[in-house]
Amino acid sequence: LGWTLRRATKAAHKLPEDWRTSTYKAALRAAYALQHFYIPAACIVNSDETQLLLQHGGECSYAPIGAHQVDVLGKEEKRACTIMTSLAMDGTLLPFQSIWKGSTNRSLPFSNDHSNPLLQEAVEQGHIFTLSHSATYWTNFHTLKLFVNTLLVPYFERQNKNHSRPSHASCLWIIDVYSVHRSEEFRAWIHETHPWVLVHYIPASCT
């Protein structure tokens, strides 16, 4: 038939021209904060969101030999949620926040019924299941505040205590430049509510 097994085609990710300079400056800013505030490794956290597909399509399909564009069934499957993952510099993995499109418990796993043993186990381990209250499952100001107040700040407070520091001693939180992360609304809120949480950004297109 003249077919060959091919992966779906997509544009390659490109680094910005100044990526070396911008990442070096970001590293210097972090180094200054660590030295100036004597921040231990456990109090340095990097968080990032990732899409979790509920139904995976294939990565490959058969296409005519020499074809430049390859379509794969299920490649654009969008039934998914967002997972906010966080890792401290000392290797501690924080519990996850999962974000689900919708505004009622029916949109959450097991309809948010904590008597379900699978959900109960996840909740006992500290994971949180969050409704977006919007038309998407992406992080927004509401879900970001919930993450900070429910997972990040309690973690920092515990680690500060473990390291004989004041509960609100300076800690470093490193995130990417996703629009809601750098919005004036969020930056004003975290500066007013948790001024001891230093927010640093990874330069755009460098993650």
Using one digit for the tens of pLDDT, what is the confidence trace for 60-101? 656 676 666 766 555 555 678 999 999 999 999 999 999 999
Amino acid present at 78: K
Q: Considering the domain boundaries, does residue 74 fall inside one?
A: yes
Percent over 90 (pLDDT), the chain: 69
Average pLDDT, the chain: 88
Decide if 129 is inside a domain: yes
Q: How far is CA 86 from CA 89, 116, 120, 163, in A?
A: 10, 26, 21, 20
Looking at 21-35, 58-72, 157-171, which range is the least confident one? 58-72
Q: Is residue 5 part of a domain?
A: no
**Is the pLDDT at 37 greater than 80, yes or no?**
yes
Please check whether residue 3 lies inside any domain of the structure.
no
Q: 121-129, long-range: CB within 8 Å, 24+ apart, which pairs?
A: 125/95, 126/94, 126/95, 126/151, 127/95, 127/96, 127/97, 127/98, 128/95, 128/96, 128/97, 128/98, 129/98, 129/100
**Predicted confidence (pLDDT) at residue 191 exceeds the cutoff of 90:** yes
Residue 10 located in a structural domain: no
Residue 4 within any structural domain of the chain:
no
Whether the pLDDT of residue 162 is over 90: the answer is: yes
* Domain range enclosing 106: 16-201
pLDDT at 195 over 70: yes
Is residue 176 in a domain?
Answer: yes
Q: Can you give the pLDDT at residue 169?
A: 98
CATH number (domain holding residue 149): 3.30.420
pLDDT of residue 25: 95
**pLDDT on residue 206:** 84
Least confident stretch, 1-15, 99-113, 137-151: 1-15
Count how many domains the chain has: 1
Say if 9 falls within a structural domain. no
Nearest by Cα to 90 from 39, 142, 155, 43: 43
Q: Measuring CA to CA, which residue among 47, 31, 83, 51 is closest to residue 176?
A: 47
